[in-house]
Amino acid sequence: MLAVKAPMGWNSWNTFGGNINEQLIMEMADAIVEKGYRAAGYEYVIIDDCWSLKERVDGRLVPDPALFPHGMKYVSDYIHSKGLKFGMYSCAGFMTCAGYPSSYGHEFEDAKQFAEWGVDYLKYDFCNFPSSGDAKNAYLTMAMALRNSGRDILFAACNWGVENPSGWMRSRGAHSYRSTGDIFDVPKSYKDIFRSQAENIENNAPGCYNDMDMLIVGMHGKGNVGLNGCSDTQYLQHFAMWAFMGSPLIIGSDLRNLDDENERTLLCKGLISINQDEECRPAFMVGHNGDKTYTMAKIMSGNRIALGFFNLDSANDWENNMSISFDDLGIHSESGIALKLTDAITGEALGIYKDGYRCNIKVDECKVLIGELIGDERRVL
């Protein structure tokens, strides 16, 4: 089965937009391997919009020879030689978002062409879709076309949350679905996406995931979606949110030039382990203070549970006291069960707690813990 776990990889759009070419994509594949991203689980190298000629040739999509002089099969073979997987972009409308030829009415021939090129992942956008069209049928049609292509291709549906895709994308064959509008490199953008999806992730499960859009970690205002940028602390909060919520982790920054702090964030083993846990259960809301602070939990494999504390209260520059009662995790005091807690970000062992846990979280910060359930024969704090 494809998408047994939430996909991880890199996409060209956030930083480069239409400024892409063959050499850039191959250099990014090199960086993913050399800098440890492949070993951490990032496996897809995805070319976004603007890769083709402006018109079809003999009914076929054609890579722009000025950008991809050796063709897409050459790029695909190079990416595969690195032990990675190759992703591409098309759109359900009659043109892509940037005005290039799209797959509306050409689904089956395009899917076969993608298969011939060795594509492993298709991002399928929703720009320029006819007002008389049927979005559900459009995504179903491409899903069936990919299944008929002769190759396993992960189907990443990107309709920005139109018509509540959480209610139907899984049944239409998508392996992930965009649930929101585009992300931009500014704190308000990732926070608004998180707020809108904090209670909309119950459908996350092996085979299909709620995609909260690509990561902006480390962009610092540079690139195609760059605005004012975020602080390193905010990037860590953003990544922790996406990891905890089970979203696909698709990097959008230039990995060739990423600073050490944000590289550590993207390679954080504890946060990735929560996102990629073998049970792939969705997180659930424990409590929130309006849209300021959020406490969440996620049941994990191996008799464990993850706890997430997120402070988004940018209107007030102070620490928020946050706590969680283990009763709200289904662990009553009378059970004698305690949690042996580890900080998922730092790896620090925090000790054994019974009944509950409390902490102070500064503005734009977070704390993510992994708790191991232990019986009452153990000493507790």
Report the catalytic residues: 125, 182
Taking the alpha carbons of 311, 313, 316, 321 in that order, is the dihedral positive or negative? Answer: negative
Query: Coil, helix or strand for 251?
Result: strand
Distances (CA, A) of 232 to 10, 260, 262, 266: 19, 10, 7, 11
Give yes or no for a contact between 157 and 169, defined as CB atoms under 8 angstroms apart. Answer: yes
Residue 150: Cβ-neighbour burial (10 angstroms; 0-12, 13-18, 19+):
exposed
End-to-end CA distance of the chain: 43
Instruction: Please work out, in degrees rounded to the nearest 5, the angle formed at the alpha carbon of residue 4 by the alpha carbons of 198 and 171.
Output: 70
Q: What gap in Å lies between CA 118 and CA 305, rounded to an integer?
A: 38
Q: What is the DSSP string of 169-191?
A: TTTTT-SEEE-SS---BSHHHHH
Query: Coil, helix or strand for 125?
Result: strand
Query: Coil, helix or strand for 42?
Result: coil
Q: Which of 146, 170, 176 is nearest to 158 (CA)?
A: 176
One-letter identity of residue 374:
I
* 3-state DSSP helix/strand/coil % of the chain, to nearest 5: 30, 25, 45
What six digits make up the tokens of 172? 């239409």
